[in-house]
Amino acid sequence: MKTVLLTGANGFLGGHLCRKLLQRGYAVRAFVRPGGSKRVLNGLPLDIWEGDLCDAHNVRGATYGCDYVIHAGAAAQVNPARSRTVVNVNVGGTAAVLAAATEAQVERLVFVGTANVFGFGSKEQPGDETSPYNGARYGLDYMDSKLVATRMVTQAAAEHRVPAVLVHPTFMLGPIDHKITSNALLLALYRGQLAAIPPGGKNYIHVDDAATATVNALTEGRIGESYILGNENLSYQEAFALMAEVMHVRPPRWIVPRSVAQLVGHISDWKYQLTGQLAQLNSAMTAVANDGHYFSADKAIHELHLPQTPVRTAIKDAFDWFQQHGIIQTAAWQPGTREFRQFAGSGR
C-alpha cells in the first residue's frame, strides 16, 4: 500500500482529499497544525501527524516513509492584506516540503496552488495556465506568496529535484465544511447578510471535483506542469441568483458601483490604520470583487480527467450538508451588514 503525506489535511479541500485517497486504497499521513481542529477527519483511518509547516525538521520527519506528497497546506488569509504569517507559511512551508520531498525521493509531489497565480480573463476569453499573473496590483500577500511558491515548485521540477505536478483550484463549494470557509458566502446570502452585489465575478468548482483531479495528479499529468481546476464562470449577479434559487431565498438586487466599493475599501483601510481594528473588508478585497476572475479548465479536463459537476449541484450539496448538521435551521431573510469576506479568497 502506497502512503501519501497530505499537508493541510484538516482543511476544506483536505478533508475531501483524505476521503478520496482512502477510497483509492492509499494510506494517508495527515499533517495538521498543532491545536488545529480535526473534526473533518473524525472517524477516518489516518496517521495523524501534528507539526508546523515552517519547521523543516518536523516536515522532514513527516515525509519519511511516504511514497507521495500532496502539499495542500496554506494560509489563505486576505484580511489584513499584508501578513508575515501568510508569507512564512506559503513560501517557507513550501520550501520545507520541497526539501523533504527531495530528500525522501518521493515518486511524485502534487502542489495545490490557486488559480489566482494566473491572469484572469473575460468570459469570452478566460485566463489559462499561460496567462501572466496580474494580481500584483491588489497588494495581497496571499496571492503574491502563492505565486512565489508556485515558481519554487515549478523550478524544482525543471531542475529534476522533485517530480512535481501543480494544481490550482478556483473557488470551491460543497459539503463537509466544518470550518465554514468558502461556503460562508452561501450562509451570508441565506441569512440576508449580503446587502448588495459586487460588479465582478469568478470561476466556481465543486470541491469533490477538485479533490478528484488532485488525487488523479499523483499518477496523471505532466511533471512541471500547472493545471487550473475550475468549472463555471459566473458574475456575482449570476452566482447569487443561482445560490438564492437553490436555497429558496431572495438574492440582493443592488449592484455596487465600482467607485463605491473602492471607497468603502479605502475607508476600511483608514479605520484599520487609525484604530488597529480590522473591518470586514479592505481595499484589496473590494478591488478583487470589482474584477471578473474567469478561467478555463480545459487543460485539466483533458490531462487530469477533471470532472465538471454543475455548480448548482455544489451549492445544493453544501446547503443540504449545512441543514443536516444544524448549521442552517430555518429560512429567514433579514437585512444585515455587507459581507465581502469571501470575494477575495481562493475558496480553499
**DSSP assignment string, 133-165:** P--GGG--HHHHHHHHHHHHHHHHHHTTSS-EE
| 3-class DSSP assignment, residue 121 | strand
| Full pLDDT tens readout for the chain, 348 residues | 999 999 999 999 999 999 999 999 999 999 999 998 999 999 999 999 999 999 999 999 999 999 999 999 999 999 999 999 999 999 999 999 999 999 999 999 999 999 999 999 999 999 999 999 999 999 999 999 999 999 999 999 999 999 999 999 999 999 999 999 999 999 999 999 988 999 999 999 999 999 999 999 999 999 999 999 999 999 999 999 999 999 999 999 899 999 999 998 999 999 888 888 888 889 999 999 999 999 999 999 999 999 999 999 999 999 999 999 999 864 443 333 334 445 555 555
Q: How far is CA 181 from CA 33, 168, 170, 310, in A?
A: 17, 17, 14, 20
Q: What is the CATH number of domain 3-182+203-233?
A: 3.40.50.720
Closest CA to 181 of 279, 326, 74, 254: 74
Domain boundaries, the chain: 3-182+203-233
Answer yes or no: pTM beyond 0.75: yes
User: In 10 A of CB 208, how many CB atoms?
Assistant: 21
Residue 65, by phi and psi: left (phi above 0), alpha (psi -120 to 50) or beta?
A: left
Q: Where do we find the cell 456575482?
A: 236
Say if residues 206 and 259 touch (Cβ distance below 8 Å). Answer: no
